[in-house]
Amino acid sequence: METNAMLAIGAALAVGLPALATAWAQGRIGPAAAATLAEKPELSTTAIILIAIPETMVILGFVVAVMILLRSGGAGG
Amino acid sequence: MIVTMKRVRLAGPTARVDEVLSFVQGLGVLHVVRPEVPESAPVEVRAPRHCRRMLADVDAALALLGSAAPVRSPALSPPGELPRAARLARRVRRQAAKLAKARAALEDERVTLLRYREFFTAFEALIGHELAWPDGKAFYVVMRAGAVSAVEELRRALTKAVGDELELLDRPLASGEIAVLILVSNAGAPKVARLLSDSRVQELPAPAGLGETNLLRAMPALKARLAAIPGAIAERDEERRRLADAHGPELHHLHGWLNDQLLLLEARARVHTGRYLFVLEGWLPEPRKASFVDAAAKTLGPEIVVEFVGDETWRASDAPVALINPAFFRPFEIVTRMLPLPRYGSIDPTPFLAIFFPAFFGLMMGDVGYGLVLAGLSVLLRFKSKPGTTLRSVSFIGTACSTFAIIFGVLFGELFGSLGHFVGMRPLWFNREEAIVPFLVLSVAIGVVHITLGLVLAVVTSWRRGHRREALGRGVAAMMVVLTVLSLLAAFQLLPSALFTPLVIAVLVAFPILIALEGIVAVIELLSTFGHILSYARIMALGTAAVMLAVVANQMVGAMGSVVVGVLFALLFHLVNFAIGVFSPTIHALRLHSVEFLGKFFSPGGTAYRPFTHWKQQPHES
């Protein structure tokens, strides 16, 4: 039971910390992208892709969290 | 794919240069460039400058008149007398500007008078009151919103200064400000004026142009003026409409002709013209080569020489880029156009986008219900859009994406999440709710295939550009990715375990070859390639998140106590999930292509193919 609780906390941290990092990165990229678009609207695709890039962190964090939960038997597999 | 280009050269007597340019403009297939010659006649700058000045007059006049462009492009025939047309454009621009200025002044005056009217409406009943001091004076003050204490303070200060010879009245205005009317005897007026000035309270001055300095007496004139302004504005509008009716068509014709003329002058500046001969060069799509030569021979005769410059004499980077794709792939060119244009001689990513983009989208959405909603919206957009527009392409891409979403929805047994289970739908492949690891393996496997394809395309691109060493390096990298994946499969006994050792040995042999071909940077590139493959895990992450959200939406029906409230919440949640389900897969499928896949082989930096042709009215998108 205790091990499962630790695994659950681990899973939460695995997805939570990258989520914070992603939010921080997107918070920095977003205003810069908005400022760029004001001057060069043709860069909208590049701006959207740049904003999407930090999401890799939280996505991989999610994958790791799922792996941890599978180990604890907390998710189907 | 990128259209093969041919460089064509036309030469003939200088006297016929304008005729040849008209012929080329009529055909509309030649991308005119300046020939590489050591000396050239000075470029004519006066005519383009004159045209641009006239066009500025015409555009400004049309904008001021608010004259809508005709549905069909106007005829591009020259106007009767050019000096007269130029004078007309200038005159109409001046008249339209004068009308617009007069109208704006009337609007400003109306806004100001409305403010005065508001003030005096508050005190209208007291107009006769002024007569209590026949020699008295009135002060009009507007205090800021909520300044009730300031009004009381003002009253106390004024009473202290002039005693009983003063009356102060205040009324709230609709804007929240406070209108203050101060009536004072003639003897006390200077003291009040000084006090107001010292306390920096702004008086409302009498509106100019009413011929009356006393605002209370100005009230009837103010009302009359307010009533007259809409009529005066309507008069200016009518005058503008008459001007637009009288000169709009001619100005639109002039607009079209001047734009066409500018294109001609731009092309003329690129022609090398000597005393006796001219040389015109340009790029022609190979499929148009024969028809161009035939038309030139028929129309221009043997005096004009048409020859093709040998492919070995020009650099691929000089050739312009035109994309041509089968009808099924063509709508996806709008995605390619969001990226920089590929270089001539490299690979057009459109066909790959057309296959993988909807497939990735479908895998992430993977729901029959959401797919059908998206298909319905795409069909609606198709009927609302005109052929050849961006919206028509978007509707086609939407249809392709929704088709894949429906196919994968059937395979995963999903209809608005788990709702399909109640109507007998069962997963034909796997259940995304539970089979998280198989879904992850599938996503990464797709990444392996996609990235390996990208590396193979990089081999082709490098080989075509003559960078043989680079091509070999990319080939070895692709081989290492495949060998690593196979050895992992053997390690997990998905392939015979006897293969594990030979595969690992092959990887170890390939590694120094890769470094020898591409240097130490190849190690970093190889690691980033594996990182890119893992990045495809987002397909599983977004797909799982989508199905979980849909399941939560369905669970709301039973969790809210009332079925009706539950159904409403579930519908709202499904709507939000649908919006996220369309937006996120689009962004991430786009990202997987532009960062992971195209990063392997895409060479941006091409020049767009812009054939010299007649000016056309830009169609309005709908």
CA angle, B527 then B365 then A11, to 5° = 55
Confidence category of residue B539, pLDDT binned at 50, 70, 90: very high
Does residue A75 have a pLDDT over 60?
no
pLDDT of residue B622: 39
How much is the average pLDDT of B305-316? 82
How much is the average pLDDT of B234-242? 90
pLDDT of residue B621: 41
| Residue B622 to residues A25, B196, B383, B390, B393, Cα–Cα distance (Å) | 37, 60, 10, 9, 12
Q: What is the pLDDT of residues B393-408, one digit of tens each?
A: 999 999 999 999 999 9
Please check whether residue B424 is in contact with residue B409, taking contact to mean a CB–CB distance below 8 angstroms.
Answer: no
Chain B interface, mutation test: which of A49, A51, A58, A67, most B Cβ atoms within 10 Å? A49
Chain A: nearest CA to B351, how far in angstroms?
Answer: 19
In the CATH scheme, what architecture does the domain B120-219 have?
2-Layer Sandwich (3.30)
Give CA–CA dist B238/B98, Å, rounded. Answer: 14
How much is the average pLDDT of B536-541? 91
Please check whether residue B411 is in contact with residue B429, taking contact to mean a CB–CB distance below 8 angstroms.
Answer: yes
Q: Do B591 and A59 touch (CB under 8 A)?
A: no
Please check whether residue B304 is in contact with residue B11, taking contact to mean a CB–CB distance below 8 angstroms.
Answer: yes
Q: What is the mean pLDDT of chain B?
A: 84
Report which of B64, B58, B134 is spatially closest to residue B98, judged by C-alpha positions: B64
Give CA–CA dist B537/B445, Å, rounded. Answer: 9
Q: What is the mean pLDDT of chain A?
A: 84
Confidence category of residue A18, pLDDT binned at 50, 70, 90: very high
Closest partner CB to A49 (pick from B540, B545, B594): B594
What is the distance, to the nearest Å, from the Cα of residue B99 to the centroid of all Cα atoms in its chain?
A: 33
Number of H helices, E strands in chain A: 3, 0
Give CA–CA dist B365/B362, Å, rounded. Answer: 5
Name the residue type at position B418: S
How much is the average pLDDT of B494-514? 89
Number of H helices, E strands in chain B: 18, 10
Structural domains in chain A plus CATH codes: 2-72 (1.20.20.10)
| Residue B102 to residues B95, B228, B233, Cα–Cα distance (Å) | 11, 14, 9
Give CA–CA dist B346/B356, Å, rounded. Answer: 19
Query: Does the CB of A63 have a partner CB in chain B at under 8 Å?
Result: yes
Confidence category of residue A28, pLDDT binned at 50, 70, 90: very high
Q: Count the alpha carbons within 13 Å of B77 in the hemisphere toward its beta carbon.
A: 5
Q: Pinpoint the residues of chain B covered by CATH 3.30.70.2750.
A: 120-219
Q: Do A76 and B339 touch (CB under 8 A)?
A: no
Q: Where are the beta strands (DSSP E) in B136-291?
A: 137-143, 166-172, 178-184, 272-273, 277-285
Q: What is the pLDDT of residues B371-395, one digit of tens each?
A: 999 999 999 999 998 888 889 999 9
Residues 6+ apart with CB under 8 A from B386: B392, B619, B621, B622
**A44 contact residues in B (CB cutoff 8 A):** 338
Does residue A41 have a pLDDT over 60?
yes
The whole-model pTM stands at: 0.71
Q: State the CB neighbour count (10 A cutoff) for residue B350.
A: 24
Query: Does the CB of A53 have a partner CB in chain B at under 8 Å?
Result: yes
Does residue B254 have a pLDDT over 90?
no
Q: Do A49 and B535 touch (CB under 8 A)?
A: no
Residue B7 region by backbone torsions, left for phi larger than 0, else alpha for psi between -120 and 50, else beta: beta
